[in-house]
Chain A
Amino acid sequence: MAKILLVDDSKMSRKMLRTILEGMGHEIVGEAADGVEGLNLYKELHPDITTMDITMPQKDGIACLKEIKEFDADAKVIMITAAGQSSKLMEALKLGAKEFICKPYEPEQIINAIKEVEN
């Protein structure tokens, strides 16, 4: 089972994700409420998978993804965001995001994306 880091400025959003992922048997190794904290926790915890929101204070998810990929080119990051503009999608995929899920999502989308990334 994977070690997962959650990066999202909404505590309730992280809680909902945690419920789905722990239900799959995964371990949530850390939670970050913005991109700065997300990058620091990534460097410290070396998670197998990171879920990343985009619209966050201080450092947004795109900037955080970029810096995580600079630190670890093999990082597996799944964008889970309400900011579903095509420009954001293209930018995230170009920077190496593995999946891009728009909020509001169905739990099955998260489950499938995690399985896809794990494989």
Chain B
Amino acid sequence: MVENILGNYLVKTGKITDEQLQAVIQKEDETRVKMGLLAVSEGILTIEQADYINGLQATMDKRFGDIAVEKGFLTEDQISNLLKKQGNAYLTFAQTLVNENLLSMQELENMLDGFQEEYGFTKSDMEDLRSDEPERIVPLFLPPEALCFREIAGVMVRTLIRCVDKHVYLDKAECTDLLQIKKAVIQKMEAFSTPVEGLKELETGFAEENGGLFTMAASFCKADDLTDEDMLDGAGEMLNCINGLYVSGLSRNGVECELLPPVLMDKETELQDVMICKIPVCLHDKKCEFIMIGRK
């Protein structure tokens, strides 16, 4: 995610073109070995074990390493060594930019300073960003009053990375009490048995912005001939999966709630509530919004 957040800042500020960014990301993908493959080549996992973990990972909101440890295949130390060997996504990105003569080390530093200033990030925020860990990056893009949504937003990002596009990234979220949407899908999680982050109820949704909802639905459903109705239905199913993973996680911690069927909206609608937060979700050059409505 970090390569797209910083890379798109470079494109926006005219330092590189979008084509150059895509080439850098592709190069990075080729360089960076997946955890499963790395563990197999190191001889500490069998192919069957790696496939088993990959299968589980597709249906759970957990990282490869966490599942490997949980299943007793690998130790925390082995995971830590694998992560070192895999390399940090930010460093690989930065190295590729320099190797391809797109930026000098000094220009890279200047870019990071400019980015930090524009986004109002602290030094510690920048470290979180460079970690490339969704759970550390997501809160950076939420306003302080919306931090109660960090868990559900984290599940959303991790699920989209697994099921739609591993290069999905976010932009700064905004809070409002009135939201106008055109094409959207909304799903309600009714009455938590005990409040979660101070919330008794939560609704989430995806709203179309500039083709992002279509891109997401098409990729998730593995179909590109979608009608508007199909697009909303596919986005609703994606949303259902995200919320399902979220409420399943809550139920493992003893919190129960009911998931209602997603509601598809295909005409202009006004959403009015005490706390609505919308976070832009970017899929390459397409965008949609993830909407979170919390009730205390």
Give A residues with C-beta under 8 Å from B.
9-13, 15-16, 55-57, 81-87, 101-106, 108-109
The closest CB in chain B to the CB of A104 belongs to: B241
The closest CB in chain A to the CB of B226 belongs to: A12
- In which size bucket is the chain B interface? 20 to 34
Q: Provide a sorted-by-A list of 14 A–B residue pairs whose CB atoms are within 8 angstroms.
A: A10-B233, A10-B237, A15-B223, A55-B259, A82-B244, A83-B247, A83-B248, A84-B247, A85-B256, A102-B244, A103-B59, A103-B241, A104-B241, A106-B58
Set of chain A residues within 8 Å of B241, measured between Cβ atoms: 82, 103-104
Q: Smallest CB–CB gap between A56 and chain B, Å?
A: 6
Pick from A15, A81, A82 the residue with the most CB of B within 10 Å.
A82
Set of chain A residues within 8 Å of B217, measured between Cβ atoms: 12
B245 within 8 Å of A (CB atoms): yes
Set of chain B residues within 8 Å of A108, measured between Cβ atoms: 55
Q: Smallest CB–CB gap between B104 and chain A, Å?
A: 43
**Alpha-carbon distance A89/B40, docked complex (angstroms):** 33
Give B residues with C-beta under 8 Å from A.
55, 58-59, 159, 162-163, 217, 221-223, 229-230, 233-234, 236-237, 240-241, 243-245, 247-248, 250-252, 256, 259-261
The closest CB in chain B to the CB of A81 belongs to: B244
CB pair B256 A105 closer than 8 Å: no
**Alpha-carbon distance A10/B234, docked complex (angstroms):** 8
Pick from B159, B244, B245, B256 the residue with the most CB of A within 10 Å.
B244
Number of A-B pairs, beta carbon distance below 8 Å: 79
**Alpha-carbon distance A9/B159, docked complex (angstroms):** 21
CB pair B260 A12 closer than 8 Å: no
CB pair A12 B233 closer than 8 Å: yes
Closest 10 CB pairs of A and B: A82-B244, A85-B251, A84-B248, A12-B234, A82-B240, A10-B237, A104-B241, A12-B221, A106-B58, A12-B233
Q: Smallest CB–CB gap between B34 and chain A, Å?
A: 16
**Alpha-carbon distance A15/B245, docked complex (angstroms):** 22
**Alpha-carbon distance A84/B259, docked complex (angstroms):** 10
Q: Smallest CB–CB gap between B80 and chain A, Å?
A: 27
Set of chain B residues within 8 Å of A15, measured between Cβ atoms: 221, 223
Set of chain B residues within 8 Å of A105, measured between Cβ atoms: 58-59
Contact of B230 among A12, A57, A84, A87 (CB under 8 A): A12
Set of chain A residues within 8 Å of B222, measured between Cβ atoms: 16
Q: Smallest CB–CB gap between B218 and chain A, Å?
A: 10
The closest CB in chain A to the CB of B240 belongs to: A82
CB pair A106 B261 closer than 8 Å: no
